[in-house]
Each structure stands twice: as structure tokens, then as C-alpha cells.
Structure 1
Amino acid sequence: MARYIFRMECKKGSEEEYKKRHEAVHPELLKALKEVGISNYSIFMDGNQLYAYMEVDNFHEAMERMESNPANIKWQTYMSDILGMDNGNNPKMHLIDQEVFHLE
């Protein structure tokens, strides 16, 4: 299983709302994440910067499958008012996939 990290950001002033919404992630989204093979998914926050960690065999394939998933579309719409978004109205994500050290 490969490990991936990506960076996003929530809009300044939305940090507490971001945390609040993640206390009640939609169950259908959690199911969808597992169905595409994502596990050990964590999000860390530093100010308004978000760092997400996940394990998945193929990050790009999983993200492609999630794009069309109704639960994900609903969640992304719900989060769009507090996340930094790109021109396509998707969360700005910067993938960090070059792992240089791992201790198990």
C-alpha cells in the first residue's frame, strides 16, 4: 500500500468551521473512501493549511473514481464555501508523493 500526502487550505477564518464539519463526516462519504481503497486517512491542520495523509494502492485512480461518486460530490459542495478552490470549483490540492524516508 502506497502512502500519499497532499496539501490544501481552508479559507482564513474558517478553521473552526472546518474542524466542526469533520466531526460529522457523512457516512456515505466514509463508505465511498473505503470502496476506492483509501485507508489510514488523516487530516492535520496548521493555521489554515491542511495536510492530508492516506494509504491507497493508486492515488490517481482512487481520486478519479471519487470525482464521480455522488457522496463525494455532495461533500465537496458542502465544503466549497470554506476551502480554497481552483478554477474548476474543485479543492486546490497539491500532491506530495515523493517519499524520501519511512520508519516502520
Structure 2
Amino acid sequence: MRVALHTRVRADRIDAYEAAHREVPAELTAAIRAAGATEWTIWRSGTDLFHLLEVEDYPAMIAALEELPVNAAWQTRMADLLEVVHDYSAGGADATLPVVWQL
């Protein structure tokens, strides 16, 4: 399934956010892949962040990552950098950006 999310980085933390994503822990990326994600891309426009995930089952991925210490540490780190944090808990259509048009 394809999942699109929107978050917002704090204007004064853009550099720190981008630096953090240059060093995502290998243990976390391995856990994300093991939980069924094959792609996760984040684009930034100003302070707006747009995420696009290709994942077998988004709610199952979130459940698999929820209790992992490496993910908890990452979420704590991101909470300090983000103005609008996606809590990743909803899992249904309301957790994603709705498709308006597709070619």
C-alpha cells in the first residue's frame, strides 16, 4: 500500500532535522524494512515535510515498530525537531493524505 503523510519541521531546526536523516540508525532502517516497508521518501518544502511510504500493511508496520527501543529513541529525537508531529497511530484513511488526482 502507498501511504502519504504530512509533518512540519520547526523552522529553527531544519538543519538538525536534515542532519538526523543523514544518520538514521541502521537498526531502525532494518526494523522498518522487516516490518514491511520497501520505500520511504521524505520531501521538504520550507518547513513542510511530505512522506511517501510503500509498505505491505501500514498499521502492522506501526505496531511492529511501536515497542522497539531504537524507534522510541528516534521518535523522541524527532519530537524535538518537529512542529507538527504525525503520531503514526491512526493507520486508517485518516492517517494519510487523500489522493486528489493521479495520472
Q: TM-score range by the shorter chain?
A: 0.7 to 0.9
> CA RMSD of the aligned region, Å?
1.9
Q: Percent identity?
A: 25
- Give the equivalent residue in structure 1 for 2:90: none
- Give the equivalent residue in structure 1 for 2:23: 24
For the pair 1:67 / 2:79, whether they are aligned, the reply is no
TM-score by length of 1: 0.80
Moved over 2 A (4+): 91-103
Structure 2 unaligned spans of 5+ = 88-93
1:66 alignment partner, SS class: helix
* Length, aligned pairs only: 97
TM-score by length of 2: 0.81
Point out the structure with the larger helix share.
Answer: 2
Maintained 8 Å contact 2:6/2:97: no
Maintained 8 Å contact 1:84/1:92: no
Q: 1:11 to 1:97 in 2, by over 3 A?
A: closer
Name the amino acid aligned to 1:96: T
